[in-house]
A = this chain, B = another copy of it.
Amino acid sequence: MTLEEAIVVEHLPDAGGYWRIELRAPAIAPRVRPGQFVHVRLTAPADAILRRPFSVFRTEDDRLELLYKPVGRGTRAMTELRPGAVISLLGPLGRGFPTPAPDRFPVLVAGGYGMAALYLLGRESGRAGIVFVGGASAVDVLCVPEFEALGWEVRVATEDGSRGLRGQVTDAFDAWAASELSDRTPELFACGPNGMLRAVGERAIARGWTAWLSMDRAMGCGVGACLTCVQKVRDPSHPDGWTWARVCREGPVFECREIVWEDDV
């Protein structure tokens, strides 16, 4: 965990309303593990005083790349950053994805910025598996060439059917699991909207697979001090069977059996 003044190297709009920003961050970039994030200080308007968390999409020597979507005050201000600008990064933070088990078939499931969170895992997993990626429409499907370049098979699902299967990303996964999984045991790694993560976890629990979910919670400090980013997790040692975990510290990645989904407690 380091605090570093990073320099913007390149910053361009990508598809689906996303932007890619490449930063020179020699102290942080080489130490990022798959699924970890950085906490970024933006020169945002007065009503967004906190840092903002972003998964590290790619690293290359002393540089790291983020893939983000302007959704609010902080991220909209972020799009104004020009090459040469200096921004403060805190990272790498969090407990990322574990190394894929050698006796399992790695399956990645991504929605939204999920592809950004999963790419490093794909690159460092040692061997290629399959990636399922979903989006509202064809333009929302990011990073397919990157995964293909790593030798991963990519299956796309879009809600409007403009690319790949029409439907949810889990529909594409289900179809594959029903007909192509055969006797392999998958190990799932997912990042995306809550509903998707939950659906992935339910499948894993029903079939006895392992599924690692990267959770998204609004954050304060990013380092475990403020107790903002809590997520209900199972805790057999507690009389009620659950406790709060800090997504920034114990997460963002949790095995699906750890999570207590909000409306089933």
Contact = CB atoms under 8 A, between A and B. Distances in A.
Contacts of A45: 46
A46 B46 CA distance: 5
Tell me what chain A mostly uses at the interface: helix, strand, loop, or mixed.
loop
Interface in A24-51: 45-46
Copy tally for this chain in the complex stands at 2
A43 to B, nearest CB: 9
Contacts of A46: 45-46
Nearest to A44: B46
A241 B45 CA distance: 47
Nearest to A49: B46
A73 to B, nearest CB: 12
A101 B45 CA distance: 50
Interface string A39-79: 00000011000000000000000000000000000000000
A123 to B, nearest CB: 39
A45 B45 CA distance: 8
Nearest to A43: B45
A46 B77 CA distance: 14
A81 to B, nearest CB: 14
A24 to B, nearest CB: 23
Interface of A: 45-46
2 contacts: A45-B46, A46-B46
2 tightest Cβ-Cβ pairs between the two chains A and B: A46-B46, A45-B46
